[in-house]
Structure 1
Amino acid sequence: MASQVFTDAKVFTGRGEDDFVTAFRVTDGVVDWLGDASEVDTADAHRLGGRTVVPGLLDMHVHPALMTTTIDAVDCLPPAVTSLPQLIEALRTHAAVGAGPDAWIVGNGYDETKYPEGRAPTARDLDEVSTTQPVIVWRCDRHSAACNSRALEIAGLTADTPDPAGGRFERDADGRPDGVLTEISATQAVASHIPDAAPEERVAQLRQVGERLLSRGIVGVCDLLATRIPEPLDAYRAAEDGAPMPRASLFYGWDPADPPADLTDDDRTGRSRAAGLKVIMDGAYSNRTAWVCHPYPGSDDDHGLRTLSDEDALSAGAWARRNGVQLAVHAMGDRAIRQVIELFADQEPWLHGTPSIRIEHATLLSAETIERLRTARMAFGIATHTVFLYAEYDGYERNLRPELRDQAYPIRSLYEELPALALSSDCPATAWGEADNVFVSVEAAVRRRAYNGADIGQGAAVSVAQAMLLYTDRAAALTDVGRLGRIDVGCEGSFAVLDQDVFTVPSERIGETGVLETWIAGERVWTRRAPASP
Structure 2
Amino acid sequence: MTTLLIKNANIIDMVMDTPYFGDILVEDGRIVHIDEEIAAGEEDVLDAEGRFLIPGFIDTHSHLLLYGLYKSLVELTPQAVRNIDEIKAALKARVDATPAGEWVVGHGYSEIELEEDRHITIDELDAISTDHPIYIRHSSAHMGVANSRALEIAGINEETPDPDGGYFARTDGRLNGLLFELPAVEVLLPHLPKPSKAEMIEALKSAEADYISKGITTASEACVGLAHGKDDYDALTAYIQQDNDMKLRLMIDYQLMLQSESLKGLSFEELKQQIETLSDGQCTLDSAKFFQDGSIQINTAALTENYHNVDDKSHIIIAQEKLEALYMDFARRGYPLTTHGNGDAAIKSIIEAYSKVNADPDYNEVTRVEHIQTGKYEDIEAMKKNNIDGSFFTNHIYYYGDKHYEKFLGPDRAEKMDPARWAEDLDVLYTLHSDCPVTPISPLDTIRIACDRKTKSGRVLGEDMKLTRFEALKAMTINGAKLNRTESENGSVEIGKAADFVLLDENPLDNDIVLEDDLILYTFIDGKMVYKRD
TM-score normalised by the chain length of structure 2 = 0.91
Residue number in structure 2 paired with 1:111: 110
Supply the distance in 1 between the matched residues of 2:359 and 2:196 (Cα, whole angstroms).
40
Contact kept? 2:334, 2:365, Cα under 8 Å: no
Summarize deviations over 1:73-108 as a string: whole Å, max 9, x none: 1221123322111222222343x6442234221111
1:317 Cα deviation from its structure 2 partner: 1.3
* Deviation for aligned residue 1:500: 3.4
Q: Compared with structure 1, are the counterparts of its residues 10 and 127 closer, same or farther at alpha carbon in structure 2 (3 Å cutoff)?
A: farther
Which residue does the alignment assign to 1:532? none
* Residue 506 (str. 1) matches residue 506 (str. 2): no
Question: In structure 1, what is the Cα distance between the partners aligned to 2:96 and 2:274?
Answer: 40
Match of 2:135 in 1: 136
Matched, 1:52 2:79: no
Q: Conserved in 2, the CA contact under 8 Å of 1:56 and 1:518?
A: yes
1:457 maps onto 2:456 in alignment: no
1:65 matched to 2:71? The reply is: no
Whole-angstrom CA distance in 2 between matches of 1:187 and 1:226: 16
Range moving further from structure 2, 80-89 or 397-406: 397-406
d(CA) in 2 for partners of 1:50 and 1:311? 57
- Secondary structure at the aligned position of 2:79 is classed as coil
Aligned with residue 361 of structure 1, among 341, 361, 371:
371
Question: Alignment length, in residue pairs?
Answer: 518
- In structure 1, the residue matched to 2:502 is 496
Structure 2, gaps ≥5 residues long:
none
User: 2:221 — aligned with what?
Assistant: 223
- The CA deviation at 1:237 is 4.5
Q: Return the letter of the residue paired with 1:526.
A: Y
Give the C-alpha shift of residue 513 in structure 1. 4.1
Provide the residue aligned with 2:305 in structure 1.
294
Of 242-251 and 488-497, the range deviating more from structure 2: 242-251
Structure 2 counterpart of 1:524 = 529
Shift of 1:505: 5.7
Equivalent residues of 2:392, 2:419 under 8 A apart:
no
Shift of 1:231: 5.0
Aligned to 2:433: 424
3-state SS of paired residue (2:273): coil
2:191 counterpart (186, 189, 193)? 193
Match of 2:288, SS state, is: strand
Give the match's secondary structure for 2:305. Answer: coil
* DSSP-derived class of the 1:197 partner: coil
Partner of 2:420: 411
Distance 1:107 1:451, change over 3 A: same
Instruction: Output the CA distance in 1 between the equivalents of 2:80 and 2:162.
Output: 33
Q: How far off its partner does 1:288 sit?
A: 1.2
Change (3 A) 1:274 1:233: farther
Measure the CA separation in 2 of the matches of 1:215 and 1:394: 30
Following TM superposition, by how much is the alpha carbon of 1:419 offset from its aligned partner in structure 2, in angstroms? 4.2
- Tell me, yes or no, if the aligned pair for 1:101 and 1:134 is still in contact at 8 Å: no
> In the alignment, does 2:402 pair up with 1:385?
no
TM-score (norm 1): 0.91
Distance 1:350 1:267, change over 3 A: farther
Equivalence for 2:402: 394
Query: What is the root-mean-square deviation of aligned Cα atoms in Å?
Result: 2.4
Judged with a 3 Å threshold, the aligned counterparts in structure 2 of structure 1 residues 446 and 513 are, in CA distance, closer, same or farther, namely: farther
Question: Which SS does the other structure have where 2:239 is aligned?
Answer: helix
Distance (Å, rounded) in 1 between the aligned partners of 2:100 and 2:273: 43
Q: Amino acid of the residue matched to residue 528 of structure 1?
A: R
Whether the aligned pair in 2 keeps the contact of 1:287 and 1:395 (CA below 8 Å) is no
- Rounded to whole Å, the distance in 1 between the matches of 2:248 and 2:364 is 16
Correspondence for 1:324: 334
Unaligned runs of 5+ in 1: 530-534
**Amino acid in the other structure paired with 1:324:** G
Change (3 A) 1:350 1:45: farther
Pairwise mapping of residues 339-350 of structure 1 onto structure 2 (< 5 A)?
339-348=349-358
Aligned to 2:273: 266
Going from structure 1 to structure 2, the CA distance change for 1:351 and 1:446 (only over 3 Å counts) comes to farther
The corresponding residue for 1:467 is 472
1:249 maps to 249
CA contact (8 A) 1:53 1:496 kept: yes
Alpha carbons 1:159, 1:177 under 8 Å: kept? yes
For 1:127 and 1:348, the matched residues in 2 are separated by: 51
Letter in 1 for 2:378: E
1:211 matches 2:217: no
**Structure 2 CA distance, aligned partners of 1:176 and 1:345?**
43
Distance 1:466 1:20, change over 3 A: farther
Farther off after superposition, 114-123 or 314-323: 314-323
Cα offsets for 1:91-133 (capped at 9, x unmatched):
2343x64422342211111221122322112222222432211
User: Partner amino acid for 2:418?
Assistant: Y
Cα pair 2:404 2:410 within 8 Å, conserved: no
Task: Give 2:288's aligned amino acid.
Answer: L
> Following TM superposition, by how much is the alpha carbon of 1:285 offset from its aligned partner in structure 2, in angstroms?
1.0
* CA–CA separation in structure 1 for the residues paired with 2:520 and 2:295: 31
1:9-158 residue pairs with structure 2 within 5 A? 9-18=9-18, 20-36=20-36, 38-42=37-41, 44-94=44-94, 97-158=96-157
CA distance in 2, matches of 1:3, 1:116: 55
Q: Hey, what's the Cα distance between the residues in 2 that align with 1:484 and 1:236?
A: 23
Alignment of 1:232-247 (within 5 A): 232-247=232-247
CA distance in 1, matches of 2:363, 2:526: 23
In structure 2, the partner of 1:284 is 295
Matches of 1:248 and 1:218, distance apart in 2? 10
- Any conservation in 2 of the 1:57–1:220 contact (CA below 8 Å)? yes
Q: Quick one: which amino acid aligns to residue 470 of structure 1? A: A
